[in-house]
Structure 1
Amino acid sequence: MELQHLFGANVRHHRKAKGWTLERLADEVGVTQETIGKIERGKAAPLFDTAEKIAAALDVPATALFGANALPGTGERARLLAEIHRTLSRMNEDQLDRASKMLKAFVG
């Protein structure tokens, strides 16, 4: 289930980075907007064929969507990083900017 959520968060991140709507990605992939929404929320796992189509539409390697080398580590640290990643992927540009400033202030 964790991989499903990570995949969805990565899809959302790359879709938003391109400035695409759910509808645009769904059209590019040939699935419904509801399907993309469920994938992004981690409520549905795509077939491998669909995952490859999503990666191609977003112009990223499929491995990037599965989190290959994105969140190193295991255990509690990896779980926390994945949770933070999912949260950040749901933010708009203004929220990301504020979160970045907060993190910089927090870490120093």
Structure 2
Amino acid sequence: MHYTLADRVSLSTEMLSTIERGVALPSLENSKRPSWVFGIAELALFGAGFVIGDGGDRVLILSKIQINILRSNNEQLARVDTSLAGSID
């Protein structure tokens, strides 16, 4: 049986096409699905760069943070920056 990528990631071909063209941003869950199929980090699929690490929870957490940052508007980014500065210093 022949499966399309849309079939394998349980998305409609229309939704997958809008994500591929940059018309829509995938949800965190939907961004993970193609990465599971290809066996690579979801960030590699969306041109956001790579999170380098030795695997495990740290890489997963950093990947989620990076995805959320990419989706944030300027006001949200300013709040994140303030929050991080306060928790790291």
In the superposition, the TM-score normalised over structure 2's length comes to 0.50
Which structure has more relative contact order (CA 8 Å, sep 6+)? It is 1
- TM-score normalized by the length of structure 1: 0.42
Higher helix fraction: Structure 1 or Structure 2?
1
